[in-house]
Amino acid sequence: MPASASWLDTLPPDFYDQLARSLSLHGMAALELLSRPATPLTDRLHHLTRLDVAPVQRLNGIGSHEQLLAALQQEPLAVYHLLLLGRLTLETSLAAPVLAYVQQSMGIDAEQLHTLLTYCLELSGAFLGQLEEHVAAPAGVASLGLHRLAVEEAFAELVAQLPAPALPAASLRLTEPQLHMLRLALLLVHSLPADTDHAFLRAVAALPHLRAEALEPLIAHLGRVRAQEPLALTMPELVQLYQGMQVCGMVFVSDVMSRLGLEDAFPALPDEEREATEPAPASNRQAVGEMVSGFTHWVQHTFPDDPEIARARQQVLALADTL
């Protein structure tokens, strides 16, 4: 339903510039929500908002004040619902992939991301209130405010049925050499061929935590973290690092690197990182061994009775028997 043009004339000429970042973030969050597999609850949200992926993608293409005014004139409820669904999503764990992408693409730390999110939510909150004053509610609904309550209720039911996110098992603050080593270890494991007659490599490929598709989210996670920033790890992620570091160590002290021709492909520790290690390692392999040993000892000392760590340790010992 088109909106009356009178209130749109009161918007300042730089209104799009003020709203652009918030509109973009809310659009990405709404797209993340509406891209989820269909369920009765997502169908209910679609019925209430008449939004799905296609109109959200179209609205996400707004790139100027004139285009924003046109959308507000021609489909104000679609803009309203995009902001509302985006806002609801941004306040839950459903937005984690979006926020991770924004943080990485903008090169900002966690505190800066929180500041940006707070700013964008403040803008959307104010604009939603303004829209509720001027935009007509859907047919059969007394007011847009009451309609909003129905959308929020449906969204809350959807969130309540989601699996609870895994709680962090540990929070670390890593130095640059430590972070670098963890990244390299996972990248090495990710690069190991699975279709081979080498018994060790076949055994690595059989470990669920070290399969390529299982490693990729953690590799991306580590890629966004900076040295000395808090790094929260769930137990499955800790198991991946525990096993990945030890596989990396085994590869370095065995003939696997040379047999696969990976010695030149796998990056060496930078000079400044080698110099930061005390005592200075005699070789790259020694440096890797020291970091693997240190991390392994920390995990086993910190979680001496955890069954997942115990199971991961037995799997690593079985790997060693294949070398």
What the block records as the tokens of 89 is 């999503």
If we measure between CA atoms, which residue out of 167, 209, 185 comes closest to residue 292? 185
Residue 270 has pLDDT above 70, yes or no: no
What the block records as the tokens of 214 is 């299982």
Mean pLDDT along residues 251-257 = 77
Q: Alpha-carbon distance 315 to 9, whole Å?
A: 68
Residue 267, φ and ψ in degrees, nearest 5: -65, 145
> 250-286 burial string, b = 16+ CB within 10 Å, else e?
bbbeeebbeebebeeebeebeeebbeeeeeebeeeeb
Q: Alpha-carbon distance 288 to 229, whole Å?
A: 22
If we measure between CA atoms, which residue out of 202, 198, 222 comes closest to residue 211? 202
Note the pLDDT of residue 284. 65
- pLDDT bucket at 81, cuts 50 / 70 / 90: very high
Residue 276 has pLDDT above 80, yes or no: no
- pLDDT bucket at 63, cuts 50 / 70 / 90: very high
Residue 267 has pLDDT above 50, yes or no: no
**What sign does the CA torsion over 14, 15, 18, 23 have?**
negative
Note the pLDDT of residue 210. 92
Q: Chain-wide mean pLDDT for the chain?
A: 86
Q: Alpha-carbon distance 27 to 55, whole Å?
A: 10
CA atoms within 13 A on the CB side of 122: 7
- pLDDT bucket at 231, cuts 50 / 70 / 90: confident
β-strands 230-234, 168-173 pairing: antiparallel
Note the pLDDT of residue 182. 93
Q: What is the pLDDT of residues 151-194, one digit of tens each?
A: 999 999 999 988 777 778 888 888 898 899 999 999 999 988 87
- pLDDT bucket at 230, cuts 50 / 70 / 90: confident
pTM check: above 0.85: no
What the block records as the tokens of 70 is 């046109």
Note the pLDDT of residue 261. 62
Note the pLDDT of residue 156. 95
% of the chain at pLDDT higher than 70: 89
Residue 279 has pLDDT above 70, yes or no: no
Phi-psi region of 2 (alpha: psi -120 to 50; beta: other; left: phi over 0): beta
Mean pLDDT along residues 98-123 = 89
Least confident of 216-225, 245-254, 279-288: 279-288
Q: What is the pLDDT of residues 8-52, one digit of tens each?
A: 888 899 999 999 999 999 999 999 999 988 899 999 999 999 999
Q: What is the pLDDT of residues 288-300, one digit of tens each?
A: 778 888 999 999 9
